[in-house]
C-alpha cells in the first residue's frame, strides 16, 4: 500500500488583522495558505511524496532523525521522496532554510492513527517586521532579542482557531481522541488543558516523557508529540499556551494560541 501526495512550497504575504506578514508554507495547492499540510499514514505505509518548490530560492524537505541530507529542492523545481514509518507517532517536516522554517514552513506527518479521531495543533510564532527580511534572506537568523507578536495554531489565531476542525477538539462524552502537537515556531510553548489530563503517547524531542499524564504539556522547539485524551467530562473547556504573551494578537488579549475542547452527548 502506498499514498501519493503532492505538496507545494509557497511563499508570499498574507494579511493578519490588518497587517501583512511574509509566510512560507507546505500546501496541497499552489495557493499560499498559512495552514500547512497534514499527512496521515498507516504504520509501514509507503509515502510517495512530490514536493514542488514555487519559490525562487532553494528549499529542502527535512524531518529530524529521518531525512537530513540529499533533500534540496531548487527554486522553481520539484523533487520526489519515498518514506515510511514503522511505529505510531507524529513527525514534523519542514524546510530548514531560514526563509522557510523561520517563517512557517512546517507540516505534520501522523502515523498509525488513521482509524482514530485525531486533531492537530501546529504551533507557530513570529514577529511581523522580521518576516519580511527573513523571507528575502536578508536576515538569516532569529535575533536574540526576539519579540514575537503573532501566535498561531494551524496558521491562524484565536478566535479563528474555533473555526478550524483540526484545532477545535469536538467529541462526544466517553470518546478517546488523539491530539498531535508540533512546534514549528521560534520559541518553546507549553499547552495548558482545562478539565483534562492528556497522556503523552509519542514524542520526538522529549521522548522520556512518553507515558506521562499531564494537564500542562511543554512543547519544545521542533517537537512533535501525540497526546491521548479521554473525554470523560461534558462541556466546553479552554486550552491555551501557558506563556501568556502567546494568548495575544499583536499585544491584545485574548488571541493567539487558544482553542477549545467541546464534549457533547
Q: Are strands 258-264 and 169-172 parallel, antiparallel or unpaired?
A: parallel
Backbone angles phi, psi at 65, to 5 degrees: 80, -5
Residue number with the smallest Cβ distance to Cu ion: 192
* DSSP code, position 56: S
Of 12 and 195, CB closest to Cu ion: 195
Q: Give min distance, CB of 254 to Cu ion, in A.
A: 12
Nearer to Cu ion, 113 or 191 (CB): 191
Closer to Cu ion by Cβ: residue 7 or 181: 181
H-type alpha helices, the chain: 98-101, 128-135
- The nearest distance, CB 242 to Cu ion, in angstroms, is 6
Size of the site for Cu ion (CB under 5 A): 1
Among residues 200, 204, 168, the alpha carbon closest in space to that of 183 is found at: 204
- Helix and strand counts by DSSP (H, E) for the chain: 2, 21
Q: How far is the CB of 240 from Cu ion (least distance, A)?
A: 6
Residue 108 · residue 180 · CB < 8 Å: yes
Enter the C-alpha cell of residue 74.
Answer: 531548487
Minimum distance from residue 194 beta carbon to Cu ion (Å): 5
The nearer residue to Cu ion, 98 or 248, going by C-beta atoms, is 248
CA–CA gap between residue 221 and residue 205 (Å, rounded): 9
Looking at residues 20 to 49 of the shown chain, list those that interact with Cu ion (rule: CB under 5 A).
none
The distance of closest approach from Cβ of residue 239 to Cu ion in the complex, given in angstroms and rounded to an integer, is 8
Closest CA to 49 of 67, 76, 64, 31: 67
Q: Which residue's C-alpha cell is 482509524?
A: 115
Element (H, E) at 21: strand 19-27
Instruction: For the segment 163-192, give every residue that binds Cu ion (CB under 5 A).
Output: 192
Closest by CA position to 47, among listed 20, 13, 85, 10: 85
Q: Which of 192, 214 has the CB closer to Cu ion?
A: 192
Smaller CB distance to Cu ion: residue 128 or 192? 192
Nearest distance from residue 238's CB to Cu ion, in Å?
7
- Residue closer to Cu ion by CB (options 38, 239) is 239
Distance of closest approach, residue 259 Cβ to Cu ion, in angstroms: 12
Q: Does 220 bind Cu ion (CB under 5 A)?
A: no
Judge residue 91's burial from the number of C-beta atoms within 10 Å of its C-beta, 0-12 exposed, 13-18 middle, 19 or more buried.
Answer: buried
Place of cell 474555533: 162
Phi and psi, residue 151, nearest 5°: -135, 120
Residues that bind Cu ion (CB under 5 A): 192
Amino acid at each position: 500500500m502506498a499514498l501519493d501526495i503532492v505538496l507545494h512550497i509557497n511563499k508570499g504575504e498574507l494579511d493578519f488583522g490588518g497587517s501583512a506578514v511574509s509566510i512560507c508554507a507546505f500546501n496541497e495547492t499552489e495557493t499560499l495558505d498559512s495552514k500547512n499540510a497534514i499527512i496521515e499514514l498507516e504504520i509501514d505505509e509507503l509515502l510517495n511524496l512530490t514536493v514542488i518548490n514555487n519559490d525562487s530560492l532553494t528549499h529542502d524537505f527535512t524531518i529530524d532523525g529521518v531525512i537530513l541530507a540529499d533533500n534540496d529542492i531548487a527554486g522553481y523545481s520539484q523533487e520526489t521522496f519515498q518514506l515510511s514509518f514503522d511505529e505510531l507517532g507524529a513527525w514534523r517536516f519542514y524546510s530548514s532554510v531560514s526563509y522557510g522554517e523561520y517563517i512557517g514552513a512546517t507540516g505534520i506527518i501522523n502515523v498509525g492513527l488513521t482509524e482514530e479521531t485525531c486533531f492537530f495543533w501546529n504551533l507557530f510564532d513570529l514577529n511581523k517586521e522580521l518576516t519580511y527580511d527573513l523571507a528575502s534572506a536578508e536576515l538569516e537568523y532569529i535575533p536574540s532579542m526576539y519579540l514575537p507578536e503573532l501566535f498561531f495554531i494551524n496558521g491562524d489565531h484565536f478566535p479563528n482557531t474555533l473555526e478550524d476542525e483540526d484545532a477545535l477538539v469536538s467529541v462526544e462524552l466517553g470518546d478517546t481522541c488523539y491530539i498531535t502537537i508540533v512546534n514549528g515556531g521560534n520559541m518553546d510553548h507549553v499547552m495548558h488543558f482545562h478539565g483534562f489530563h492528556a497522556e503523552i503517547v509519542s514524542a520526538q524531542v522529549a521522548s522520556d516523557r512518553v507515558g506521562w499524564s499531564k494537564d500542562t504539556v511543554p512543547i519544545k522547539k521542533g517537537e512533535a508529540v501525540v497526546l491521548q485524551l479521554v473525554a470523560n467530562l461534558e462541556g466546553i473547556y479552554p486550552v491555551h499556551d501557558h506563556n501568556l504573551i502567546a494568548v495575544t494578537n499583536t499585544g491584545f488579549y485574548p488571541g493567539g494560541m487558544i482553542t477549545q475542547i467541546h464534549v457533547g452527548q
